[in-house]
Amino acid sequence: MQSAVFAHSGEFVLRNVGSEAVLVPIRNRVGDLDSVYVMSPVAVRIWSLIDGVTDSDAIAARIRDEYDVEPAKAAQDVNELLSALEEAELIRRA
């Protein structure tokens, strides 16, 4: 994936549940359990960096630095999550 800037789409609430977090829509699809997403701590951190300004390369660099992972692995993980979030319409290209 070429570096892109993303923003959150719609309104969601993120709640911690044990060692994971749950992302739940607060409008429209609130009763649809297929619209509830369980996120790992790293996914939550990536979600917090999606701000409509920071591009995917910068997000991957932050993940690399904060979690001490190889640059290629950080980029792959970030891009996979961004693709999944975009496909689920949780984020959109800014």
User: What domains can be seen in the chain, in order of their start residue?
Assistant: 6-89 (1.10.10)
Whose structure tokens read 């570096």?
A: 3
| Residue 42, both tokens | 């790293």
Q: pTM value?
A: 0.87
CB 13 within 8 A of CB 93: no
Structure tokens at 2: 């070429």
Q: Give the CB-side neighbour count of residue 2, counting CA atoms within 13 A.
A: 1
Angle at 54 between CA 19 and CA 28, to 5 degrees: 60
Give me the pLDDT at residue 5, please.
98
Task: Give the Cα separation of 82 and 66 in Å (integer).
Answer: 18
Size of the chain, expressed as the number of residues it contains: 94
- The pLDDT tens digits along the chain (94 residues) read 579 999 999 888 899 888 889 998 876 654 555 678 999 999 999 999 999 999 999 999 999 999 999 999 999 999 999 999 999 889 999 9
The tokens of 94 are what? 């800014």
